[in-house]
Amino acid sequence: MGHPQGGYFVVADAAPLGHPDAAAFCRELPSLAGVVGVPLSAFVLPAHRAPLNSLVRFAFCKRESVLGQAAERLAQLGPRR
């Protein structure tokens, strides 16, 4: 299988931020950072979700200014203590 040459999404791992459950993280994300993400596990059958549990998909088909604001907000999130 080849690699795509482009796309409108990026996948990030929420585990290093202290969020091993991407679904729970995505439910909190709008109030935490004013940003929306989708857990990658939402796109696969339940039997295949475990390895993807902490991965979040973000769309970046937005204006550059919107992406900059989102990046700044996400950068404020840190590991849970």
For the chain, the structural domain boundaries read 10-63
Query: Poorest-confidence range of 5-9, 18-22, 77-81?
Result: 77-81
Give the pLDDT confidence of 33-70 residue by residue, as tens digits. 999 999 999 999 999 999 999 999 999 888 999 999 99
pTM of the model: 0.83
d(CA 57, CA 38): 5
Tokens of 6: 């482009």
DSSP per-residue letters across 28-69: HHHHHHS---EEGGGGS-GGG-GGGTTEEEEE--S-HHHHHH
What is 10-63's CATH number? 3.90.1150.10
